[in-house]
């Protein structure tokens, strides 16, 4: 189990994320927490210093990726073939709602908590635009919980944005 390999703050973060994803933890070469219903799958190393994980789209199994590995504010987030880069590593902090990238930025709803709203990265500052919650197997804006992170396609390069939650696999993560 993850808890055997990670301690302190990392365990708290993993446990919070794992509980939001259905509570199933598997120990193998790759850590996985998979919800029973479908989709956001969290993968990554068991090593203490590797507490960031991949987030994979439920429909395509592609990774949530910071476009071009760019760490500038307002860089788009897209789906991309999983490649293990820091542009595809994320950690969720339930205490503040931040979905933080390994590049040091946070997922940002750009203040557009409506259908076709944008998703990018931004400095992790005290802003409601940066706060999300795991609800079931979806990532939802804390500002408007009826709106979920949505993949607008199922191929590498597909845009990720916000749309009304309806339970589809493109609005869930695995």
Q: What is the pLDDT of residue 10?
A: 36
At residue 167 the predicted structure's pLDDT band, cuts being 50, 70 and 90, is confident
- On the 0-12 / 13-18 / 19+ scale of CB atoms within 10 A, 34 is buried
**Exposed e or buried b for every residue in 65-104, given b needs 16+ CB within 10 A?**
bbbeeebeeebbbbbbebeeeebbbbbbbbeebbbbbbbe
What pTM did the predictor assign? Answer: 0.70
* pLDDT attached to residue 41: 53
Is the pLDDT confidence value at 56 over 70? yes
Tens of pLDDT, residue by residue over 132-165, are 998 888 899 998 989 999 999 999 999 999 999 8
Class of domain 2-171: mainly beta
**How does pLDDT run across 98-110, given as a tens digit for each residue?**
999 999 999 999 9
Collect all residues with Cβ–Cβ distance below 8 Å to 121 and sequence separation of at least 6: 66, 71, 73, 74, 75, 77, 101, 103, 105, 106, 107, 108
The predicted-structure confidence for 65-83, as pLDDT tens digits, reads as follows 999 999 999 999 999 999 9
The pLDDT, as a whole number, for residue 136 is 82
Q: How would residue 166 be classed by pLDDT, with cut points 50, 70 and 90?
A: confident
Sequence spans of domains, the chain: 2-171
């Amino acid at each position: 189990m993850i808890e055997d390999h990670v301690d302190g703050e990392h365990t708290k973060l993993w446990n919070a994320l794992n509980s939001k994803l259905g509570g199933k933890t598997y120990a193998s070469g790759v850590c996985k927490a998979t919800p029973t219903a479908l989709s956001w799958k969290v993968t990554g190393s068991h090593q203490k210093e590797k507490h960031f994980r991949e987030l994979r789209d439920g429909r395509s199994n592609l990774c949530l990726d910071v476009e071009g590995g760019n760490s500038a504010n307002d860089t788009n987030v897209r789906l991309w073939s999983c490649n293990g880069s820091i542009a595809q590593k994320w950690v969720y902090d339930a205490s503040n709602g931040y979905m933080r990238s390994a590049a040091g930025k946070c997922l940002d709803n750009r203040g557009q908590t409506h259908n076709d709203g944008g998703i990018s990265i931004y400095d992790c500052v005290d802003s409601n635009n940066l706060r999300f919650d795991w609800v079931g197997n979806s990532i939802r804006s804390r500002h408007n919980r009826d709106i979920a992170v949505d993949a607008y396609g199922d191929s590498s390069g597909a845009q990720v944005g916000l749309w009304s939650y309806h339970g589809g696999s493109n609005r869930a993560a695995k």
